[in-house]
Structure 1
Amino acid sequence: MQTRADHISQLTSIQQFDIIIIGGGASGLGAAVDAASRGLKTVLFEGSDFAKGTSSRSTKLVHGGVRYLAQGNIKLVKEALKERGLLAQNAAHLFNNQTFIIPNYKWWQGYYYSFGLKVYEFLSGKLSLGKSRLLGKTKVAELLPSLIKKNLSSGVSYRDGQFDDARLALNLAQTAALKGAVILNYFKVTGLLHDDNNSLNGVIAHDLETENTFHVNGKVIINATGVFANKILKMDGRKKDGFKIVPSQGIHLVLEASFLDSDKAIMIPKTSDGRVLFVIPWHNKVVVGTTDTPNIKPNYEPKALDAEIEFVLQTASDYLTKKPTRKDVLSVFAGLRPLVAPEGNKQNTKEISRGHKIMVSDSGLVSIVGGKWTTYRFMAEQLIDQAIITGALKYKTCQTENLSIHGNVDNLLNIKPAHRYVYGSDLKALESIESQHQNHAKILHPNYEYTTSEVIFGVRHEMARTVEDILARRNRLLFLDAKAAIEAAPLVAKIMAKELKKDDAWAVEQTKTFVELAKGYLIN
């Protein structure tokens, strides 16, 4: 990807954009790829880093949603299963065809879930990832050695997708840039511009690094800010549109791999609060989650509640022979789902649809709320179709169904170090940096294989601007082991300071800022 300075230069050289996108998460980045690939002049502004919010805090699944099938939402499941199959083709370097097992402790559950998953498999059609199977208790015990065996009756295995959410977001930003879009992080939209008829015709964008402010003209403005969508709607003068955004918090606990001791994942189909809970291998750790807790104050760093932590630990302990406790948690992260419900809705958040909604305000502001990572491409297609209508732009059909996402290769399963599969086709460029100097192969922390070269690559080619950008989203150390991330922060700051031509004071301040943030990922 070009440098941030290159994108700012492009920003100032274009008099009017066709599409201005506010928000650099899954929805906004997907829209940028779609719009740019149709030949529309596109700019995206993200007030923080790409996927800083919800889009880096998912359960790391690309799935149709077995729970939605049980709720009878066939349309959403079918859409998601198609998109799951397309992502497996278009971003093969990030996609893992993961085996999940539902353990059954009552005789009838095996037949019940086996039937449901055959329907799930059927709905995926030609894009199926593999067949589901009813397993005997002996086979389940063999595949999941850490599972409690008492009263185990059977199990059902099925396939679903797994991915690295923050890395996909970054690859989407790179793809959009390669298609000609201007993509800028740490650019905050502080105002909307209207013409004499009160129709939107631009935004005021503030560069948080230089403190420069830009008036940017555009034919269509897209609000893709997730749980923060209300802020942009209010900026536009919105009163009530017959819907409300209902943020729902989900948390995840990260444990050592020994708690699962398997490359198979566990899906617990019905917890005590009526949700699904997953125990999933990821980057040589285990991710356990998630919860569904209403949260009325959206923020970038939501905190896991003690009750949520205890719920996840207790539920995991009900199924695992090695019981996790608070001291075993390496990292805890929370994200907010931007659910959308009709005004006056009093349902529990777990009962609100994960479908998306696209709205057009009187001013012409096009907003998207709801949805999930799996369907980001389909959501973007519908969003840009609507933007074309709203702005009376020249229509061109969507190009993304078979568009290869930056990094897309499918032969990196056995690379060393193993975590580098996320670089895909960029791996050679990374290795080139590493070969330039012996210090570039220096590891950032003794317990992990992340290296100096990956920090340099993140600054030069992935628009990383802060220590958090590197340790949270270019690599995932903060999410995998918060204590190790804190210990690695001073070295990362030093490397970045050299690359960004910053002084020692910058490195000290960056380290301090990151450490304070990372403490929120530790359990006291």
Structure 2
Amino acid sequence: MPTLASPLPTRRADLVARLNKRTVYDLAIVGGGATGLGLALDAASRGYSVVLLESDDFAKGTSSRSTKLVHGGVRYLAQGNIALVREALHERSTLLHNAPHIAQALPFVMPSYAWWEKPFYGVGLKLYDALAGSSGLGRTEFLSRRETLVSLPSVQPEGLRGGVMYWDGQFNDAKLALALARSAALQGALLINRMRVERLRYTDGQVSGVHGVDTLTGQSHEIEARCVVNATGVWVDALREQDGSTQAMVAPSQGVHMVVDKRFLPGQAALMVPKTADGRVLFAVPWLGQVILGTTDTPRDDLAPEPLAFESEIDFILQESARYLTRPPQRSDVKSIWVGLRPLVKPPQDEGDNTKALSREHTVLVSRSGLVTVTGGKWTTYRAMAEDVLQKCVASALLAPRGGARTEHLPLVGAGGGEVGGAGGPVSVPVSIGAPEGVHSYGSEQVWLAQLPGADTWLTPSLSEAMVRFAARYEYALSVEDVLARRSRLLFLDARLAAQIAPAVAVILQSETGLDPDVSGFLKLAAQYLLEV
């Protein structure tokens, strides 16, 4: 058996020293979310020299605030977008294979209360299976009333006629983002967080790099690159304006999610309501030992880095949950609430404020000056988005061709063990569905985690001192927020508990990095993840 390589260190001083070396990169990526990180891995694996700059922390924005689903998009199927669903189902399978320690299969149950619901949705989900083909995770099944209650013990029994069970995927979004960043680094890419791109550089009217500023030190950096990609999600229009664009590309929409105790949805299946009172989808999803309730789809005209939920959204989720759960969650039951902004692509002519009518597909544009912008899409299709971006860069003569993508069969850092069966076949995953956070999410790197100081010293049942040290040494973590929001998901699971252990995390982190871990900033942030009762 080959010896497992030690994790690649991410000491920030060393990363900045690399950035200071005068290098003309093939590709400079602005933005460290799912799209930018996936692009960095794809490009570096083909042999391009790559630098990625993130103004805050990797996955700080939308990419850590998803519904945690790796899915083809059942509602997109209902809209008739077959091509998008087929692509996403293929990418779903690829992701589960390449990151089995982070992503896994999950059964969903649609309860039926009207006579027509089970056959209507069942037929659609059978088509979902057919589109997945050999990439399917399990067969759609029609459930009797009794079988539905066994799968969803807390579902409202009054008027229940049965249900439909189908399979999709689930993942830890922030953990996947870090796996992409670290995998790209292993391929030679340079990735740095807390490095804000303030403006573009031009040579003879063509984009030739970026001007970056280290937000920790204020130091400026001039980065030269043959191709610059704007992958800043909902914020892409800011860089496009600098480049002379006058038409906004993105119409932001926000999605709100709440976390409650597992007792509100015991069992291993997720609840999916395809059409609520106002036509939106409602999920109740087991995740890391708790349950996520959501989501909303509300237009937003500002781009706050920490958007807050509207009271109407909070009421909507609680009211709709009460219609389907025998024990309705109250405001006092919410352990954490978070909001993510979605970069929905505007049509050529704005069709008003209905974000459901906007495109969920990604768009790649190249400006006259050569700035490449990519936005839209969803987590599941990050790898396909990266392929499209590089294809566009080559077609526009911004990059020399280096062959096709190599990421479809490229396991991510920590991958090892666990297999995903074909359609109707058995599904084997490395941990049980909805299991609490723990060492299993480190995959094959558990051996290195166990060797760090504090491996047996637990700050919470799911976070050890060694995990904090691992985050600082190998996962680019610099602040308490980095650790408790994204390397661990405690802020998203239990904001009060996260606030309680923040000082202890800060002590460990400061001993590792020598930097101020900003515990006071984290405590203010944690307060925003709690509902006022």
Shift of 1:501: 2.2
The whole-number CA distance in structure 2 between the counterparts of 1:154 and 1:296 is: 41
CA separation in 1, counterparts of 2:397 and 2:477?
A: 33
8 Å CA contact 1:265, 1:281 repeated in 2 = yes
Q: Deviations over 1:91-124 (max 9, x none)?
A: 1111111000000001111111110000000000
**TM alignment of 1:233-272, pairs within 5 A:** 233-240=240-247, 244-272=249-277
1:217 to 203, 207, 224: 224
Q: State the alpha-carbon separation in 1 of the partners of residues 272 and 198 from structure 2.
A: 43
Residues 257, 301 of structure 1: alpha-carbon distance in 2 compared, 3 angstrom cutoff = same
Report Cα offsets for 1:444-475 as digits up to 9, x if no partner: 23xx3311110011001101000000000000
Partners of 1:127 and 1:440 in 2: how far apart?
38
Question: What are the superposed Cα offsets for residues 194-234 of structure 1, whole Å, 9 maximum, x if unpaired?
Answer: 112x1100100111122211101000100000000011111
Q: Give the deviation of 1:418 after TM superposition.
A: 5.4
Task: Give ranges in structure 2 of 5+ residues lacking alignment.
Answer: 1-7, 419-429
Contact (CA 8 Å) 1:332, 1:479: kept in 2 or not? yes
Cα pair 1:220 1:391 within 8 Å, conserved = no
Q: Give the CA deviation at 1:420.
A: 2.1
CA distance in 2, matches of 1:317, 1:368: 39
* Equivalent residues in 2 for 1:346-365, closer than 5 Å: 346=352, 348-365=354-371
1:369 aligns with 2:375: yes
CA distance in 2, matches of 1:483, 1:171: 27
Summarize the alignment of residues 130-149 of structure 1 with structure 2, pairs less than 5 Å apart. Answer: 130-149=138-157
Deviation at 1:443, TM superposition (A): 1.9
> Partner letter of residue 224 of structure 1?
A
The partner residue of 2:197 within 189, 209, 215 is 189
Identity of aligned residues (%): 45
Decide whether the 8 Å contact of 1:275 with 1:350 is kept in 2: no
Residues 234, 250 of structure 2: 8 Å contact kept: yes
The offset of 1:414, in angstroms, is 7.0
Shift of 1:413: 2.2
Larger deviation, residues 459-468 vs 402-411 = 402-411
- 1:453 corresponds in structure 2 to 466
Q: Distance in 2 between matches of 1:494 and 1:307?
A: 39
TM-score between the two structures when normalised by the length of structure 2: 0.93
Residue 276 of structure 1 corresponds to which residue in structure 2?
281
Task: Specify the alignment match of 2:5 in structure 1.
Answer: none
Whole-angstrom CA distance in 2 between matches of 1:124 and 1:25: 27
DSSP-derived class of the 2:346 partner: strand
Match of 1:200 in 2: 207
Q: Give a deviation string over 1:263-292, Cα, whole Å, max 9, x none.
A: 110000101221111100000000011000
1:441 aligns with 2:456: yes
**CA distance in structure 2 between the partners assigned to 1:426 and 1:440 by the alignment:** 13
Q: 2:296 aligns with which of 291, 295, 299?
A: 291
Contact map agreement 2:290 2:436 (CA 8 A) in 1:
no
Residue 71 (1) aligns with residue 79 (2): yes
Q: Which residue of 1 aligns with 2:109?
A: 101
Q: Distance in 2 between matches of 1:401 and 1:325?
A: 43
RMSD (Å), alpha carbons: 1.5
Other structure's SS at 2:324 match: coil
The aligned counterpart of 1:423 is 442
Residue type matched to 1:211 in 2? G
Counterpart residue identity of residue 204, structure 1: H
Deviation of 1:360 after TM superposition, in Å, equals 0.7
Rounded to whole Å, the distance in 1 between the matches of 2:431 and 2:445 is 15
- The alignment status of 1:228 with 2:210, answered yes or no, reads no
From 380, 389, 394, the equivalent of 2:395 is 389
Is the 8 Å Cα contact of residues 227 and 399 (structure 2) preserved in structure 1?
no
The answer on 1:413 being equivalent to 2:419 is no
Question: Which position in structure 2 is the counterpart of 1:43?
Answer: 51
| 2:473 is the alignment partner of 1:473 | no
Letter in 1 for 2:121: Y
1:379 and 2:385 aligned: yes
Distance in 2 between residues matched to 1:199 and 1:392, nearest whole Å: 11
| Contact 2:288 2:436 (C-alpha < 8 Å) held by counterparts | no
Could you list the runs of 4 or more consecutive aligned residues of structure 1 that deviate by over 3 angstroms after TM superposition?
A: 414-418
Quick one: distance in 2 between partners of 1:521 and 1:300?
14
- The secondary structure found in structure 2 opposite 1:202 is strand
Report 1:54-93 matches (<5 A): 54-93=62-101
**Displacement of 1:410:** 2.6
* Counterparts of residues 108-147 of structure 1 (less than 5 Å): 108-147=116-155
The DSSP-based 3-state class of the residue aligned with 1:426 is helix
- For residues 411 and 13 of structure 2, the distance between their equivalents in structure 1, rounded to whole angstroms, comes to 26
- Check the 8 A contact 1:91/1:408 in 2, yes or no: yes
Question: Could you tell me how far 1:387 is from its partner in structure 2?
Answer: 1.6
User: Where do 5+ consecutive residues of structure 1 fail to align?
Assistant: none
**CA distance 1:378–1:417, shift in 2 (3 Å):** closer
User: How many corresponding residue pairs?
Assistant: 510
Cα displacement (A) at 1:14: 4.7
Cα deviation, residue 319, structure 1 = 0.3
> Any idea what SS the aligned residue of 2:212 has?
strand
